[in-house]
């Protein structure tokens, strides 16, 4: 499989898995907004439907794990290779086009990995110490209450917002990078794609941080 060892091939896998993750992040956000109650039963009903058929949940989780593994695995591998591309750094380096986001993809990526682990321990496994879970008679967790009580904690909200800043940085480079890597780009589209990518990242950022902020500010109450 020359494709899997080639420079561009691995980049393309990074791009495609990255796109899958961006789509996941988008759908995830749409799901999160059910907390505002725009579907009957709100986020509780949404969570319930999502987990209604466990085999699908597990298949989905396995696929996501594979995607994340490929994305992170190649990300680390390519970064190590790229660091080797210039063993001796310049004493002075004038950056002309690169951005903080583009130069720190590995760090924003790894921070996001840490966050995802924490996030799943928090809201999926629900094992973060100090969590107050409200369950109904059948033992189903009240997701709405769990989220609201969680984000009323300053540190929980802070970590979440910080993670979303990281996500914004990662995506502001990542989304436009996808189009370039996959080859759907030229000199006319590039500036548009760069701006649109940043805009999408910004919309996602605002969408995600709106939840902890509205809770923390007391607008959304338990």
Partner 1 sequence: MSDHKTMTLTLIVWRQKNANDPGKFETYSAKNITEHHSFLEMLDVVNEDLINDGKEPIVFDHDCREGICGMCSQVINGAPHGGQDRTTVCQLHMRKFKDGDTIYIEPWRARAFPIIKDLIVDRTALDKIIQAGGYTSCHTGGAPDANSILIPKPIAEEATDAAECIGCGACVAGCPNGAAMLFTSAKVSQLALLPQGKIEAAARVKNMTSTMIECGFGNCTNHYECQAACPKGVNVKFIARMNREFIKAQFA
Determine if 180 is a binding residue for partner 1 (CB under 8 A): yes
CA angle 87, 181, 90 (to 5 degrees): 20
Residue 136 or 187 having the CB closest to partner 1: 187
Which residues does residue 135 pair with via DSSP β-bridges, in sequence order?
141
- Taking the C-alpha atoms of residue 32 and residue 46, their distance in angstroms, rounded to an integer, is 9
Binding mask 123-162 for partner 1 (x = CB under 8 A): ----------------------------------------
Determine if 213 is a binding residue for partner 1 (CB under 8 A): no
User: To the nearest whole angstrom, how small is the minimum distance from the Cβ of residue 172 to partner 1?
Assistant: 12
Longest dimension (CA), the chain: 66
User: To the nearest whole angstrom, how small is the minimum distance from the Cβ of residue 76 to partner 1?
Assistant: 13
Q: Which of 151, 136, 144 is nearest to 32 (CA)?
A: 144
Determine if 9 is a binding residue for partner 1 (CB under 8 A): yes
User: To the nearest whole angstrom, how small is the minimum distance from the Cβ of residue 210 to partner 1?
Assistant: 30
Q: Which of positions 77-116 make contact with partner 1 (CB under 8 A)?
A: 78, 81-99, 102-103, 105
Q: How far apart are the first and last CA of the chain?
A: 54
Q: Which of 201, 177, 203, 199 is nearest to 190 (CA)?
A: 177
Determine if 185 is a binding residue for partner 1 (CB under 8 A): yes
Which residues does residue 141 pair with via DSSP β-bridges, in sequence order?
135
Query: CB-hemisphere CA count at 13 Å for 101?
Result: 17
Q: Which of 74, 106, 72, 66 is nearest to 6 (CA)?
A: 74
Determine if 172 is a binding residue for partner 1 (CB under 8 A): no
Interface pick for partner 1 out of 4, 62, 117, 182 (rule CB under 8 A): 182
Determine if 12 is a binding residue for partner 1 (CB under 8 A): yes
Write out the residues near partner 1 by the rule CB under 8 A: 2-3, 6-12, 78, 81-99, 102-103, 105, 173, 176-177, 179-187, 190
């Amino acid at each position: 499989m020359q494709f899997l060892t080639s420079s561009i091939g691995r980049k393309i896998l990074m791009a495609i898995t990255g796109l899958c993750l961006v789509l996941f992040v988008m759908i995830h956000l749409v799901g999160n907004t059910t907390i505002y109650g725009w579907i009957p039963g709100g986020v509780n009903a949404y969570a319930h439907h999502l987990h209604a058929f466990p085999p699908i949940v597990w298949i989905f989780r396995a696929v996501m794990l594979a995607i994340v593994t490929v994305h992170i695995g190649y990300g680390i591998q390519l970064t190590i290779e790229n660091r080797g591309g210039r063993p001796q750094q310049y004493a002075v380096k004038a950056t002309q086009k690169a951005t903080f986001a583009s130069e720190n993809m590995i760090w924003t990526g790894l921070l996001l990995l840490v966050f995802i682990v924490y996030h799943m321990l928090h809201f999926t496994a629900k094992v973060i110490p100090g969590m107050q879970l409200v369950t109904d008679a059948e033992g189903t967790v009240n997701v709405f209450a769990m989220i609201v009580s969680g984000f009323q904690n300053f540190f929980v909200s802070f970590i979440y917002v910080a993670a979303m800043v990281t996500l914004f940085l990662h995506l502001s480079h990542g989304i436009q990078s996808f189009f370039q890597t996959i080859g759907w780009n030229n000199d006319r589209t590039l500036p548009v794609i760069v701006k649109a990518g940043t805009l999408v990242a910004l919309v996602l950022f605002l969408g995600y941080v709106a939840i902890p902020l509205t809770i923390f500010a007391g607008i959304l109450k338990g």
